[in-house]
Amino acid sequence: MLPPTVIRSCPSADNDFQPLSEYQAQTPDTFFDGKPVLYFHDENVKAWVSAEQHESLFIFSKDAEDNDATVNPSPPESYALGNNGGRHLREEKVEAFVASNKLILFSHKTGTGIEIPYPAITLHAIKNFSHVEKPEDASSRFIGVYMQIEFTSSGGDDDESFDPIELTLIPYKAEQSSTENPVIDPLNSERASALFNQISACSNLHPDPHEEEDEEEDEDNFDRIVFEGSAEGEVVDGLPGVIRGDLNGGLPPPVAGSSGWITADNVNEFFDADGNWIGGESPSGELGDGAGRVRGRDEVEQDGPNGQENGDDVDSKRPRTE
């Protein structure tokens, strides 16, 4: 996995990115240069992470004391958390940028931001919250974007040592009419859903490099029917005309009486641009009975409809239409 990048200045949504609407409205001159595309931007997002992991993201404030309430989740969202309002978590208010190249979170309080490569986000999902004491209260419900982040390259290989950073992002209402009774942002669901959808879209632009390696390995494997056995060129029992192919991917040997295989690589040696045969002499070897002879109509009709021999079940065959 790619490591994160710590930044000390907040990006500008207007100057450092190309708006998604503008990007979609025109054909770019190049796909390799230019500003990253800004898929989503939100200035007011609460970031929650466990007390044991908050230092790994660099953006969280350093708590002077373990019981410093200013670093814990704040109301009204904290009412949805157990353990005395989420005392086991740390909160930082950040500005979120979902760009085409990275997910950027910046804390104006600490003056520090972090750029997270999308392959480092191993899982992201919508998480539902409700008031601990009033779970039926619809006005207290809200959603957030839950993510698991892995910055090391060996976490997924060893399940016992795999300990991803669990981060939850929650859009909140910055301007409250009452500081004593803050309320959940009525647009929380819309904002959080947009945040999740655009993280998904940008993650698809950056597939996991391990998955690409697996796909390359799969391409090296056989993508055709391979019959068990090592004798190439043998006829497969019970399948007339089926011959074992080359285990290295080549064609089976030519059948007896032919001059070899005509492929895309050598077709110009047998046909001209108009489709006329220029292969020279007729195929080598002895041909089977009837090869090269045109059967007359009387001979065909003598065999019965559709080339079948006349017999007791001739009535069960559909007649050929002229």
Report angle CA 296, 301, 302 to the nearest 5 degrees.
Answer: 95
DSSP SS3 for 119: helix
Would you state the pLDDT for residue 277?
Answer: 76
AA letter at 255: V
DSSP SS3 for 187: coil
Would you state the pLDDT for residue 143?
Answer: 97
Would you state the pLDDT for residue 169?
Answer: 97
Would you state the pLDDT for residue 264?
Answer: 74
Would you state the pLDDT for residue 106?
Answer: 97
CA dihedral sign of residues 272, 278, 283, 284: negative
CB of 198 closer than 8 Å to CB of 40: yes
CB of 285 closer than 8 Å to CB of 257: yes
Whole-angstrom Cα distance, residue 309 to residue 265? 41
Exposed e or buried b per residue across 104-137, where buried means at least 16 C-beta atoms within 10 angstroms of its C-beta = bbbbeeeebbbbbbbbbbbebeebebebeeeeee
| Count, residues in the chain | 322
Would you state the pLDDT for residue 40?
Answer: 97
Mean pLDDT per 10-residue interval, the chain, length 322 residues: 88 94 77 83 96 88 61 92 84 96 95 94 95 92 96 57 87 85 94 97 83 55 46 57 56 54 74 76 54 65 57 56 62
Exposed e or buried b per residue across 69-83, where buried means at least 16 C-beta atoms within 10 angstroms of its C-beta = eebbbbebbbbbbee
Q: Identify each DSSP E strand in the chain by its residue range.
A: 5-7, 18-19, 37-50, 89-99, 102-107, 112-117, 121-129, 142-149, 165-171
Measured from the Cβ of residue 40, the count of other Cβ atoms closer than 10 Å reads 19
Would you state the pLDDT for residue 112?
Answer: 95
pTM of the predicted structure, to 2 decimals: 0.63
